[in-house]
Amino acid sequence: MSQNLNAGDVCLKVEKFNAWYDQFHALKDINMDIRKNKVTAMIGPSGCGKSTLIRCFNRMNDFIPTFRQTGKILFEGNDLSDRFIDPVEVRIKVGMVFQKQNPFPKSIADNVTYGPKIMGVRQKSRLDAIVEESLRNAALWDEVKDKLKSSALSLSGGQQQRLCIARALAMQPDVLLLDEPCSALDPIATSKIEELIIQLKEKYTILIVTHNMQQAARVSDHTAYLYLGELIEYDETTKIFTAPAQKATEDYITGRMG
């Protein structure tokens, strides 16, 4: 497997990582370095393990009783997957946006301040500043600044998803995980989120799972192709999409498989 990703600092280092659901071996010996301030896309057919992998970075698999894992995911010198590390601490540093937009049935402002409030921020002026900054960073401020008190459920699907991004950004995470963030959105809303992802990588390390190959090509710097739980190829996106080293990758990208 080629790994010509020398540019930039390593943010997350996955080492000999294996995962199982019961007897099912979902991830097999994954080794990969995820670079800081880059967008890393994970592609592959359904069931290839890309969602399982992304959920390992913020310990969301902890809720699945049959889930087991071995290996390491190093972040700032700590192993995120260590069971002695508090998953709550991990999730403060590693934010996540889900496949289907899931705003709380609260006001727009309350959605954004949810995270800071549980972290103990009480000061009104500070919270207001967080709301504005997060919504600006999520490219939603201009659309909602006059109705911050109205329900988040009154927004369109694309706006709701950007609100979910804003909500994650309000925690000031280091890493942002996006699990098929556009799969429930129309093309216009999708292109807005894609523009946003490209802007956000200046401040955050972003991992995105996507079924949409064009989307991976458009937004990511690096792409990982997974198949049946194995990391088949991981390289710069331009290389993966123009001259993949593996035949399997080429077959998937050109649509002969998957």
- Residues in touch with another protein (CB under 8 A): 58, 60, 63, 88-89, 91-92, 95-96, 98, 100, 102-106, 114-115, 118-119, 153, 164, 167-168, 171
**Complex with another protein: residue 18 or 151, whichever CB lies closer:** 151
**Complex with another protein: residue 30 or 112, whichever CB lies closer:** 112
**Complex with another protein: residue 4 or 156, whichever CB lies closer:** 156
| 65 CB-near residues (< 8 Å, 6+ apart) | none
CA nearest neighbour of 48 among 23, 19, 11: 19
Beta carbon of residue 118, minimum distance to another protein (angstroms, whole number) = 5
Element (H, E) at 112: helix 108-118
Count of residues in the chain: 258
Beta carbon of residue 82, minimum distance to another protein (angstroms, whole number) = 17
- For residue 108, the tally of other CB atoms under 10 A from its CB is 28
3-state secondary structure of 19: strand
**Complex with another protein: residue 72 or 106, whichever CB lies closer:** 106
- Report d(CA 24, CA 28) in Å as an integer: 11
Beta carbon of residue 58, minimum distance to another protein (angstroms, whole number) = 6
Beta carbon of residue 153, minimum distance to another protein (angstroms, whole number) = 8
Beta carbon of residue 116, minimum distance to another protein (angstroms, whole number) = 9
**Complex with another protein: residue 82 or 89, whichever CB lies closer:** 89
3-state secondary structure of 36: coil
| 17 CB-near residues (< 8 Å, 6+ apart) | 27, 29, 30, 31, 53, 56, 69, 70, 71, 72, 73, 81
**Complex with another protein: residue 22 or 89, whichever CB lies closer:** 89
Beta carbon of residue 201, minimum distance to another protein (angstroms, whole number) = 20
Instruction: State the amino acid at position 191 in one-letter form.
Output: S
